[in-house]
Structure 1
Amino acid sequence: MTPSTEIAPDLAAHIAIAVSIFCALMTLAGLVYMVLTLRAGRSFTHHWRAHPLTALATAPTVTLLKPLKGVDARMYAGLRSHCLQQYAGRYEILFGVSSLEDPAVAEIDRLRAEFPELAIRVLECPERLGTSGKVSNLAQMLPHALGEILLVNDSDILVSPHYLARVVAGFTPRGKKKVGMVTTPYLGASAKGHGLLSRIEALGIATEFFPSVLTARMLEGGLRFGLGSTLAMPRTVLEEIGGFAPLTEHLADDYELGARIYRAGYAIELVPEIVETIVPRYTLRGFCDHQLRWMRSVRDSRRAGYLGVAVTYVIAWALATCVASGFELWSFTLLSVALLARVAVALSIGVGILRDEQVLRDIWLLPLRDCIGLLLWAWSYAGDTVVWRGERFHLRRGILHRS
């Protein structure tokens, strides 16, 4: 036997030990993160129990700005929910389309016929001011808005009748800083028949994305960005940061808008008013494109924090530890603890705070969600291409560049 044949098995054994130790350490880091997430959930709940929402002395006029393109699944139900608001003040809804030939205009006409007493207007926004068609429309809609408070959300958002009242109540002064933005949690509704990939994405929103938002809120002493489910701000604050026009090249316009308001010295309030967005039926390609667009957006917006996202997939790391260790008994103990911690977060935040009943239905998918999530996280570093509404862009420092 030659020296080289003796060294090879030893080297392989040392590599296996090193890999199992690395995976075990990543699992332990993930468990620490799960504990922090549970604390963040309790902090959020206790805050709003101690400081419940109270209405402002006078109800300001609100303008809801909704840029539209095409007709999304369940869009009309979402639009209709905005017309059923129990709000003490006046509000109007402005819809922005790039062309009056857009199919969404027919849905707006239907809405106006059903609610003739409401101030509902549709605006044509023909100019393309940047790569983001959505923000381009918002910039052209802004001069026509009458409200003191401006509220932007996505076309398919479904809200409760108390949505507007509770969002506006979020501007009640609570600390040293004046509130410059109010945003809300959201859950993803995966309709029956939308398939496994849709259910996996919805599960990720409730048990992965929103817990990370709460953890950032706790560790950073408050939220420093906005969520696209709701972006409400006083007109004066928006004007102070330059309006929507500077954001027309940004992919994560919701994040950037909130970040600019925070940097201007204002607080961002995450109020406990949960809204719902629809998760569409995906092909495998569509699912990967959507997940990578979101991940690369976060990567470019929060580079240091995004590195830490890897440890959040604690079940995947625990499974890798089992394989790398040769299925040693201790690795199964670690896997059991990881599963328990992940389920605890899912139930505490996904069900307890978001009240997402789909989590109970799909909780068995958590190991698959973590494995897919870790693979996509690694893949997100392999390039800078994102696909958005059928268009392909390169993403550099949060800015969209046409391919």
Structure 2
Amino acid sequence: MTHILQSIGTALGWLAIVLAVFGIVYSVAAAIVFRRFFAGARPAPARTEAVTLLKPLYGAEPRLFDNLATFLTQDHAGPLQLVCGVQRADDPAIAVVEALKAAYPHADIELVIDPTIHGASGKLSNLINMDRAARHPFVVLSDSDIAVAPDYLAQLLATLDDPAVGAVTCIYSGRGDAGFWSRLVAAGVTYQFMLGVAFGVSNRLAAPCMGSTIALKRDTLDKIGGFQRFADVLADDYAIGEGVRALGLSVAVPPVLVTHACDETSLSQLWRHELRWGATVRDVAFWPYVGIVIGLPFPTALLAALYAPQFGLLLALAAAIARLVVVRNVDAAVGGRIAPLWMALLHDGLAFAVYIASFFVRSVDWRGATLKMKTDGRIVSASTEQQA
């Protein structure tokens, strides 16, 4: 028995060493790829197409007004409709939308308050209710916690000019809006997740479709079955992308960077949020998800130090330097400092714990609701399952 345990320990030790070495090389390569990806951005002139922006809301986030306002200050010459939706008449987001209407009296802003449930996903039920108010042939869906630059719509519409493109999505960086824990999440979003997406897209290893932005034509949305088709899907953004690809069209990822506002105020919020994200990706892309551990060289190097102390600590130092290269390159591309290196390394450690835990999760928390994950990628409310 002792021999078996020693063999397992040796195997795990060597695995940690290999992961750390490859992770260090990957981090440096990904930083270079990231800079090149966004160096390809080109200015786009203002457009005249009629566009509907869909914003499903839930609660008043720290900077919700400012985030929504960025969508109303676009360099856009055509009709622009902003549809905001909530499912409760007492939702604090309603006051924010009313303030937005007062601040932008000439903007076309519509608020939909509708509690109708269409499936297990509250977000999709909200979208289905909101979509009835949408009037224009171009639809842009984005999460409530996204802020954008003035040329955002111009860039999306220019990308949709390609007849082979069915939808457009955007990579996003993090911004901590609620103190330490939100900044820690922002560090993970920016220096780990965003870096990995850019690397995967640049090397044709990933084909994402993300809630940060999904822009498409109305007829494309109708052809994939509308939002109703995804009412019981947890990874609705991914599923929408798959629906578009099933039509023989691509989901484009232009070098357009948007901002994801992080508002976590505690470790428990961070854990629930990132565990839900990890479990979701695990179910829709299992083997690529297994491979994302390569982006965490610092914690794997520390694990290697348990097996080979001196070599492992040297690897940890090299990993920290590689992560510094990432931080410097990403900050330069984003145009500002997101978080210090020590915070990026701390998040790497937490992310590794979340990564391990995510393989054992079969239910997730979504804004106070517990959702049970099914093997086909669909979800059911825990309360509904109990009643059945």
1:402 corresponds in structure 2 to 381
Whether the 8 Å CA contact 1:225–1:259 is kept in 2: the answer is no
Structure 2 counterpart of 1:186, one-letter code: Y
Residues of 1 paired with 2:357 and 2:32: CA distance? 30
Query: Which deviates more, 207-216 or 11-20?
Result: 11-20
Query: Which deviates more, 235-244 or 271-280?
Result: 271-280
2:360 corresponds in structure 1 to 382
Pick aligned residue for 1:332 from 313, 318, 328:
313
Residues of 1 paired with 2:58 and 2:314: CA distance? 50
Structure 1 counterpart of 2:190, one-letter code: A
DSSP 3-state at the match of 1:382: coil
1:131 corresponds in structure 2 to 120
For the aligned residue pairs, the C-alpha RMSD in angstroms reads: 2.3
Matches within 5 A, 1:346-357: 346-348=327-329, 350-357=330-337
Residues of 2 paired with 1:13 and 1:124: CA distance? 61
DSSP 3-state at the match of 1:358: coil
1:182 corresponds in structure 2 to 168
Residues of 2 paired with 1:278 and 1:38: CA distance? 22
Shift of the 85–366 alpha-carbon distance from structure 1 to 2, 3 Å rule, reads closer
Structure 2 gap ranges (5+): 383-388
Whether the 8 Å CA contact 2:372–2:379 is kept in 1: the answer is yes
Residues of 2 paired with 1:67 and 1:292: CA distance? 22
Matches within 5 A, 1:183-332: 183-191=169-177, 194-195=179-180, 197-220=181-204, 224-325=207-308, 327-328=309-310, 330-332=311-313
Shift of 1:32: 4.1
How many percent identity over aligned positions?
Answer: 28
Whether the 8 Å CA contact 1:185–1:229 is kept in 2: the answer is yes
Q: What does the per-residue CA deviation read over 1:91-144, in whole Å, with 9 as the maximum and x for residues that have no partner?
A: 111112224443322222222222221111112333100111211121222232
Structure 2 counterpart of 1:209, one-letter code: F
Residues of 1 paired with 2:96 and 2:8: CA distance? 61
1:166 corresponds in structure 2 to 155
Structure 2 counterpart of 1:398, one-letter code: G
Shift of 1:256: 1.6
Shift of the 356–243 alpha-carbon distance from structure 1 to 2, 3 Å rule, reads farther
Shift of the 334–102 alpha-carbon distance from structure 1 to 2, 3 Å rule, reads closer
Structure 1 gap ranges (5+): 1-6
Whether the 8 Å CA contact 1:186–1:354 is kept in 2: the answer is no
Shift of the 53–262 alpha-carbon distance from structure 1 to 2, 3 Å rule, reads farther
In the alignment of these two chains, the number of paired residues is: 381
Larger Rg: 1
DSSP 3-state at the match of 2:261: strand
Query: Which deviates more, 206-215 or 137-146?
Result: 137-146
Matches within 5 A, 1:5-20: 16-20=9-13
2:349 corresponds in structure 1 to 371
1:392 corresponds in structure 2 to 370
Residues of 2 paired with 1:393 and 1:202: CA distance? 25
Shift of the 11–224 alpha-carbon distance from structure 1 to 2, 3 Å rule, reads closer
